[in-house]
Copies of this chain bind each other. A is one copy, B any other.
Amino acid sequence: MSRTRVAIINVTGYIGIDLARILLRHPEVDLVCVTGRSAAGKRLSEVFPHMEGSGLTIRAEFDVPADVVFSAMPHKASAEACMPLVAQGLKVIDVSADFRLKSRQEYESWYDVQHPCPELLDVAVYGLPEVHREGIRAATLVANPGCYPTGAILALAPALAGGLVEGDIIVDSKSGVSGAGRSLTLTTHFAECNESVAAYAVGGHRHLPEIRQECKRLSDRVTELLFLPHLIPMTRGILSSCYAKASEQWLSTAGDPNQSLMEHYREFYRSSPFVKVVAAPPATKHVWGSNFCHVYPTYDKRTGRLLLISAIDNLVKGGAGQAVQNMNLMLGFDESCGLNSLPVYP
């Protein structure tokens, strides 16, 4: 039987190149094509010296037969690139934001563009395996989640799905700088962001509607959701501290809330190989370079809030790794195939 051929459209961003890193070592697929207009014609290792020896050359266009395509184009351009591929029957995993929001209106309002193919919004499956595993298995088009939503939803999902929380939720996230991408900005200039921390997108970050959409799908008791991202001086990682009111109903039946909470979380993620429910507050270093997510749930008896904290590598579980996890599900491979590298510590 011939091996699965995969392609990456736009390999030159951080998620694109991390996809290449993972796929080049994936035992079941061959990376046959990587594209990137600005660097077309160059050897991959010329642009990315850590790829020395990969043998790949960056192509201007996706023009090689493949079975699975990852699109890492910017939004709108990505939908335009994916549309014909879906039509051809290829398996497509879009790491842009184009197919994440189910509401065309929300998409167009937050991204300030017209959606090129709104008819695909219902076809696409939101690619968070721990929540939509079965849908992904059957999907042709997967919308790979944003980095912040991955961390936030994995922290919140068990509590939401189990009716443990109600009322408003606050998500305060801290991200490494690679999350801002490879394009040059003053904000990501070393001397500006090193030895500093700041909140940004205070008026509303584009990942807010995505987190809200998935939270609402998991629970109808959530009233409002506030999400505030912060940039901190490290390269990789997102820590999300989520504050959610414990529901009266759950509290009245929980017995020891902390024990009950921990058991509920462990049960929820029992069959998810990449989410570890841990017994102490996680550090992003504990998942560095890996597809793992560490989740720590605790109950704050002083305020009646649940503190739900998650740590991920924003480019792996929050990007390229999760995309490969989705591919594994779509192709019927073992979910963790090619993704079982342990975190690099320290």
B residues in contact with A278, CB < 8 Å: 49, 52
Q: A177 CA to B198 CA in the complex, in Å?
A: 16
Contact A186 B188 (CB under 8 A): no
**Contact partner, A344, options B21, B296, B340, B346, Cβ 8 Å:** B21
Near B by CB (< 8 A), chain A positions 42-62 give 48-54
**Contact partner, A224, options B276, B296, B304, Cβ 8 Å:** B304
Contact A174 B230 (CB under 8 A): yes
Q: How many copies does the complex hold?
A: 4
Any B CB within 8 A of the CB of A309: yes
Contact B232 A195 (CB under 8 A): no
What's the minimum C-beta distance from A143 to chain B, rounded to whole angstroms?
A: 23
Contact A281 B182 (CB under 8 A): no
* Best-surrounded residue of A226, A237, A298, A344 (most CB of chain B within 10 A): A344
Q: A304 CA to B302 CA in the complex, in Å?
A: 23
Known: A50-B343, A302-B224, A342-B50. A239 touches B14 (CB 8 A): no
B residues in contact with A204, CB < 8 Å: 302
Any B CB within 8 A of the CB of A199: yes
B residues in contact with A271, CB < 8 Å: none
Any B CB within 8 A of the CB of A307: yes
What's the minimum C-beta distance from A322 to chain B, rounded to whole angstroms?
A: 16
* Best-surrounded residue of A25, A48, A174, A284 (most CB of chain B within 10 A): A174
**Contact partner, A342, options B25, B190, B203, B228, Cβ 8 Å:** B25
Q: A186 CA to B195 CA in the complex, in Å?
A: 19
- Which of chain B's residues has its CB closest to A203's CB? B298
Known: A189-B190, A191-B178, A276-B52. A172 touches B241 (CB 8 A): yes
Where the two chains meet, the residues of A that have a C-beta atom closer than 8 Å to any C-beta of B are 14, 17-18, 21, 24-25, 48-54, 168, 170, 172, 174, 176-178, 182, 184-186, 188-200, 202-204, 224-226, 228, 230, 232-237, 239, 241, 243, 276, 278, 280-290, 292, 294, 296, 298, 300, 302-305, 307, 309, 311, 340-346
Q: Which 6 A-B pairs have the closest CB atoms?
A: A196-B285, A198-B283, A184-B184, A50-B343, A191-B346, A172-B172
Q: Can you sample 30 A-B contacts with CB below 8 Å?
A: A50-B286, A50-B288, A51-B342, A52-B278, A172-B172, A182-B189, A184-B185, A184-B189, A188-B189, A189-B190, A190-B233, A192-B346, A193-B285, A194-B233, A195-B285, A195-B288, A196-B237, A197-B284, A198-B311, A199-B309, A202-B298, A202-B309, A204-B302, A224-B302, A224-B303, A226-B303, A228-B307, A232-B232, A289-B344, A344-B344
